[in-house]
Chain A
Amino acid sequence: MMYEVRDLRLSFPDMAHKPLIGAAPRLEVLKGLSFDVPKGAVLGIVGGSGSGKSTLGRAMLRLLEPTGGTISFDGTDITHMGEDQLRGMRKRFQMIFQDPMSSLNPRRRVGGIIAGPLRLQGLDGLTGRVDEALDMVGLPRGFAQRYPHELSGGQRQRVGIARAIALRPDFILADEIVSGLDVSSQAQVLNLLGELVRDLGLTLAFISHDLSVIRRLCDRVLVLHHGEVVEEGATAALFDAPQAAYTRELLGAIPLPDPHQTWG
């Protein structure tokens, strides 16, 4: 298994309801999630706004520390691993962010943005690796000299993908990566991601509230609702015969286009 998540809990201090004296009450965001991500799987994570999708993703990448339960990555328990220990593993799990403007440092050129993680992880031959990553996401090599604001939204998101895959990770988390893009760039970026996953043998977790995208891209789906897993299963089975009431509600609310139609 790439990931084994057991009874994962995560809470934040609820500052809005902090009493004048004493500790703030805890806001439970993840309330005991258990699921597996098999190697090579493309797992879709769906759920309404505020259901805890991003929090789950950030816990899986250990940008947040869980308050309970365990997360193991490829057999290693990373639940409470310290940042020093994590550093050695970080190149194995990478992330693509939702907003490609804020996830690319505006003061760095594209080449520097892609090379930064490579340098941190002690890899050499940086220029070659940057060029290769740009090739893989279909951007001209000359883009290495550009600043993020000189690119379109779709191109920026390709840079975000290039940064993640340049490290040759085993696992990538993509959190709503197309929601800020126009329809045609959405399709292009999703096609690209699908190809890369296949070619590089990546395991992918794809967070989205767009069920039609999940249906095309993912082979497994995890449905989150108020910080709990309400349903999990193979995509086809889940779409054909949803078990949980909440899943039926989600499916009913969203008009699904023909699943055999391909992206332009």
Chain B
Amino acid sequence: MRDARGEVKRPIGLRLWLSGGWLALLVLAALCAPLIAPNDPLMQDLFLGRMPPFWMDGAEPGFWLGTDSLGRDVLSRILYGARLALIVALVAGTLTCLVGATLGLIAGYYRGWPDRIISRFVDIWMAFPPVLFAILLIAVLGPGLMSIIIAIVVIDWTRFARVIRAEAMTQGAMDYVASAQVAGRTRFGTMLTEILPNVLPTIVALLTLEMGVAVIVEAILSFVNLSISTDSPTWGGMIAEGRTSVHQAWWVLVFPLITLFLTVLSFSQLGEGLKDRFDPVLR
């Protein structure tokens, strides 16, 4: 009688392996940056300026990905930059998710006046152009790690709120919710034990996507020089600097750009992959 549907376990899949692998590598690099970075990321040496990466003629041993115009080691700066990128991704992503998903869940499940208040708030919020909003916020709060995180949360919670609200509404109309009420579960209990597990895959997918967005926002803010103090290395700051010398030293621009791209891609792919894994119907 036991049919095949129950037995099939899909392999974890290349997508999860690759994206998870890249992110794990990045976390490792961020944690161990002082141990594995070949050079001091801030050390300038004008005699070593614009050295090419290791496979090209004229490369300087020990500077694997070359140096920038001030003679700073590109690889070491990328490794140290991963620290800031990941801190912003984790903290800002998680906070955004907590705020947005909580409000979305309440609006979508309780409906009525909580929904009217939250939805109105989201509508007004979304009328602001986000980048302008961020720059304004940072101008008021002053640059710094906290400001970036606050800016990301303040701008992006609406994305979670809207998606999770719609999802909670769909789930709330299901008979298993009525069935929980028939069994005597409280409304709050039903939200936590029946609705939340069913919107969790969407929350996870959004969360990882948001982590990618946070990395990009941090890079953009560094790019326009609104991020952390300029001497701690950031990917966005490196891209901004690399842009000015792209014809003489492309590697200063390209390596942080590739790192950024792979990281954002990995976050979104991880989310999609995890979403499938979470679903007992697809699993």
Q: In the complex, what's the smallest C-beta–C-beta distance from B9 to chain A, in angstroms? A: 13
Query: What residues of chain A lie closer than 8 Å to B1, measured between beta carbons?
Result: 140
Query: What residues of chain B lie closer than 8 Å to A150, measured between beta carbons?
Result: 3, 5-6
Q: How far is the CA of A155 from the CA of B21 in the complex (A)?
A: 41
A90 near B182 with CB under 8 A, answer yes
Q: Which of B175, B178, B281 has the most CB of A within 10 A?
A: B175
Asked if A107 meets B180 with Cβ closer than 8 Å, knowing A99-B175, A146-B6, the reply is no
Residue of A nearest to B7 (CB): A150
Q: Which of B39-47, B86-94, B183-191 contacts A (4 or more CB under 8 A)?
A: B183-191
Query: What residues of chain B lie closer than 8 Å to A90, measured between beta carbons?
Result: 182-184
Residue of A nearest to B179 (CB): A103
Q: How far is the CA of A129 from the CA of B183 in the complex (A)?
A: 16
Interface residues on B, range: 20 to 34
Q: How far is the CA of A146 from the CA of B184 in the complex (A)?
A: 24
> For the complex, is A239 an interface residue (Cβ under 8 Å from B)?
no
Query: What residues of chain B lie closer than 8 Å to A120, measured between beta carbons?
Result: 183-185
A97 near B178 with CB under 8 A, answer yes
Query: What residues of chain A lie closer than 8 Å to B197, measured between beta carbons?
Result: 105, 107
- Residues on B lying within 8 angstroms of A by beta carbon are 1, 3, 5-6, 174-176, 178-187, 194, 197-198, 280-281
How many residues on chain A are close to B (CB under 8 Å)?
30
A116 near B281 with CB under 8 A, answer no
Q: How far is the CA of A105 from the CA of B172 in the complex (A)?
A: 11
Q: How far is the CA of A103 from the CA of B1 in the complex (A)?
A: 23
Q: How far is the CA of A110 from the CA of B184 in the complex (A)?
A: 19
> For the complex, is A91 an interface residue (Cβ under 8 Å from B)?
yes
- Residues on A lying within 8 angstroms of B by beta carbon are 58, 61, 63, 83, 86-87, 90-91, 94-95, 97-99, 102-107, 116-117, 120-121, 140, 146-147, 149-150, 163, 167
Not counting A90-B184, A95-B178, A103-B179, a sample of 18 additional A-B residue pairs whose C-beta atoms are within 8 angstroms of each other reads: A86-B184, A90-B183, A91-B184, A95-B179, A102-B174, A103-B174, A103-B175, A103-B176, A103-B178, A105-B176, A105-B197, A107-B197, A107-B280, A116-B183, A120-B185, A140-B1, A147-B281, A150-B5
A147 near B280 with CB under 8 A, answer yes
Q: In the complex, what's the smallest C-beta–C-beta distance from B199 to chain A, in angstroms? A: 10
Query: What residues of chain A lie closer than 8 Å to B194, measured between beta carbons?
Result: 105
Query: What residues of chain B lie closer than 8 Å to A147, measured between beta carbons?
Result: 6, 280-281
A97 near B179 with CB under 8 A, answer yes
Query: What residues of chain A lie closer than 8 Å to B180, measured between beta carbons?
Result: 116
Residue of B nearest to A58 (CB): B178
A106 near B183 with CB under 8 A, answer no
B179 near A163 with CB under 8 A, answer yes
**Subset of 27 A-B contacts with CB under 8 Å:** A63-B181, A63-B182, A87-B186, A90-B182, A90-B184, A91-B183, A94-B182, A95-B179, A97-B175, A97-B178, A98-B175, A99-B175, A102-B175, A103-B174, A103-B176, A103-B179, A105-B176, A106-B280, A116-B180, A117-B184, A120-B183, A120-B185, A121-B184, A146-B6, A147-B6, A150-B6, A163-B179
B198 near A107 with CB under 8 A, answer yes
Residue of A nearest to B183 (CB): A117
B182 near A61 with CB under 8 A, answer yes
Query: What residues of chain A lie closer than 8 Å to B179, measured between beta carbons?
Result: 95, 97, 103, 163
Q: In the complex, what's the smallest C-beta–C-beta distance from B195 to chain A, in angstroms? A: 10
